[in-house]
């Protein structure tokens, strides 16, 4: 791919808490990678953006594509009731590839219009429908991982797999998904309560043998935590149960982690496991507020996630808002979780924080994948706009116009919107 540069007001974070930016700078890209952010006009094709904001693509580290159709509904229930009354019946419909095709098209279309460039997505237990989802995401230009979900216990009949069949379908899923280039398979046991020991052992083995990443749920809700204690009396805690099946590590994402105890924090840190922090979902389902400051200080790896349909919005800008908001409330009610997140810290989590799960993405450092979103914020509604700094414009945009005015999106240097 020929080198080119995007000329605009470029802003990114390399570590939590500090923006870097270059007003009227050049983001130089070659072979799909960032070469530099430069003050000097480079000698290559220049994409002019008329002083637009130029930011790294954002990462949604955890969401359920088959739940998108009802995201924003049934918000009056807690996790386990919500699963049984709404989520499972809806997921059952994805046995029909025609329904799945329609729903996943709507999902991929809406996701394409956001600033999200990387995702880690749950499908359903249905292999063929999940392959359809991969196809639609690949065509939408989004990169990342999609998992066929595994469930062989404590689930409605229509979502309960035979253990051997679940393993065989997982292998077929992995094999069939080799055709995709930007979307890759990920091993996806729904969570401990939905998967027998035998299934978990088989999935752990497949992940290890085929060097595949893993995603699941951990410590979301207090009732769920109690349930796992009953199901796995041999485990010293919920995280330890996943570790027993070799499912913790730098290629693993554990969604939520609202209620980690100190042993679990240690286990996640030592294993390098990623936390998909889902502030909106954890609020909607009355799960609680993960102490993100404490986790950051403990050295855990953290990205942000919509967890659609626990979260009602696909917008990572909304997740930045919500991560900050809940961190303030957590601090107010229980200061042991640490101080509130600042805007620059939440932006980091939504970009490089979660992006690092996919390699070098989510920043504009040299050699990073050129995942770029161009936002024409000149249309923002305020008479103050001309007096704002680049970080202030980004904050204003995040709160007032999330995912509006996106005029271009690039993934690995290729324009996808």
Distance CA(129)–CA(320), nearest Å, equals 31
Q: Rule CB under 8 A: say whether 349 interacts with its own copies.
A: no
Q: Rule CB under 8 A: say whether 31 interacts with its own copies.
A: no
Q: Rule CB under 8 A: say whether 98 interacts with its own copies.
A: no
Copy the structure tokens of residue 185: 């398979």
Q: Rule CB under 8 A: say whether 210 interacts with its own copies.
A: no
> Contact region for its own copies (CB under 8 A) — 58-66, 126-134, 227-235, 382-390?
382-390
Distance CA(363)–CA(18), nearest Å, equals 12
Pairing relationship of beta strands 58-64 and 406-411 according to DSSP bridges: unpaired
Nearest by Cα to 324 from 346, 339, 344: 346
Q: Rule CB under 8 A: say whether 379 interacts with its own copies.
A: no
Cβ proximity to its own copies, 108 vs 253, nearer residue: 108
Q: Cβ 46 to its own copies, closest distance in Å?
A: 31
> Contact region for its own copies (CB under 8 A) — 150-158, 266-274, 353-361, 380-388?
380-388
Q: Cβ 83 to its own copies, closest distance in Å?
A: 17
**Secondary structure element (H or E) that encloses residue 406, with its range:** strand 406-411
* DSSP assignments along 117-184, one per residue: EEEEEE--S-HHHHHHHHHHHHHHT-EEEEE-EE--SSS-GGGPPPHHHHHHHHHHHHHHGGG-SSEE
Cβ proximity to its own copies, 24 vs 72, nearer residue: 72
Q: Rule CB under 8 A: say whether 102 interacts with its own copies.
A: yes
> Contact region for its own copies (CB under 8 A) — 44-52, 229-237, 368-376, 381-389?
381-389
Cβ atoms of 125 and 93 within 8 Å: the answer is: no
Interface residue with its own copies, options 250, 270, 384, 415 (CB under 8 A): 384
Cβ proximity to its own copies, 165 vs 329, nearer residue: 329
Q: Cβ 406 to its own copies, closest distance in Å?
A: 16
Nearest by Cα to 105 from 47, 66, 48: 66
Instruction: Give, in order, the Cα–Cα distances in Å from 58 to each of 202, 236, 304, 327, 349.
Output: 33, 35, 9, 20, 9
Q: Rule CB under 8 A: say whether 399 interacts with its own copies.
A: yes
Nearest by Cα to 311 from 66, 72, 122: 72
Interface residue with its own copies, options 18, 41, 72, 263 (CB under 8 A): 72
Q: Cβ 117 to its own copies, closest distance in Å?
A: 20
Distance CA(72)–CA(70), nearest Å, equals 6
> Contact region for its own copies (CB under 8 A) — 45-53, 232-240, 262-270, 394-402?
394-402
Residues 313-332 that bind its own copies (CB under 8 A): 313, 321, 324-326, 328-329, 331-332
Cβ atoms of 207 and 182 within 8 Å: the answer is: no
Q: Cβ 15 to its own copies, closest distance in Å?
A: 17
Most distant pair of Cα atoms in the chain: their distance: 64
Q: What is the binding site for its own copies (CB under 8 A)? A: 68-76, 99, 102-103, 106, 110, 283-284, 286-289, 312-313, 321, 324-326, 328-329, 331-334, 340, 342-343, 381-384, 388, 392, 395-396, 398-400
């Amino acid at each position: 791919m020929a080198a080119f540069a995007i000329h605009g007001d470029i802003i990114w974070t390399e570590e939590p808490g500090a923006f870097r930016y270059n007003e009227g700078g050049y983001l130089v890209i070659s072979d799909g990678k960032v070469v530099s952010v430069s003050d000097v006009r480079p000698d290559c094709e220049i994409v002019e953006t008329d002083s637009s904001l130029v930011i790294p693509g954002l990462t949604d580290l955890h969401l359920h594509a088959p739940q998108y159709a009802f995201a924003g509904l049934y918000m009056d229930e807690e996790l386990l009731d919500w699963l049984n009354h709404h989520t499972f019946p809806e997921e059952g419909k994805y046995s029909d590839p025609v329904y799945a095709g329609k729903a996943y098209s709507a999902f991929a279309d809406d996701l394409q219009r956001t600033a999200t460039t990387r995702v880690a997505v749950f499908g359903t237990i249905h292999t063929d429908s999940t392959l359809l989802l991969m196809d639609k995401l690949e065509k939408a230009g989004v990169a990342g991982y999609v998992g066929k979900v595994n469930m062989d216990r404590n689930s409605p009949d229509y979502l309960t797999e035979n253990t051997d069949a679940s393993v065989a379908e997982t292998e077929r899923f992995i094999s069939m998904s080799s055709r995709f280039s930007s979307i890759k398979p990920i091993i996806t046991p729904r969570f401990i309560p939905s998967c027998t020991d035998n299934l978990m052992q088989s999935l752990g083995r497949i992940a290890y043998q085929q060097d595949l990443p893993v995603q699941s749920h951990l410590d979301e809700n207090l009732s769920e935590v109690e349930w796992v204690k009953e199901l796995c009396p041999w485990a010293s805690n919920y995280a330890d149960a996943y570790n027993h099946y070799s499912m913790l590590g730098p290629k693993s994402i554990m969604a939520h982690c609202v209620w980690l105890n100190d042993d679990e924090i240690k286990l996640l840190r030592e294993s390098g496991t990623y936390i998909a922090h889902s502030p909106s979902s954890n609020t909607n389902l009355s799960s609680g507020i993960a102490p993100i400051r404490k986790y950051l200080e403990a050295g855990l790896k953290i990205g942000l996630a919509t967890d659609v349909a626990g979260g009602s919005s696909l917008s990572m800008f909304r997740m930045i808002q919500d991560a900050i908001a809940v961190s303030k409330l957590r601090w107010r009610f229980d200061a042991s979780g640490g101080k509130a997140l600042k805007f620059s810290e939440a932006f980091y989590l939504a970009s490089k924080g979660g992006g690092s799960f996919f390699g070098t993405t989510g920043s504009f450092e040299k050699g990073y994948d050129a995942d770029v979103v161009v936002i024409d914020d000149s249309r923002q509604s305020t008479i103050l706009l001309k007096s704002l700094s680049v970080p202030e414009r980004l904050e204003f945009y995040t709160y007032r116009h999330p995912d509006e005015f996106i005029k271009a999106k690039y993934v690995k240097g290729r324009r996808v919107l």
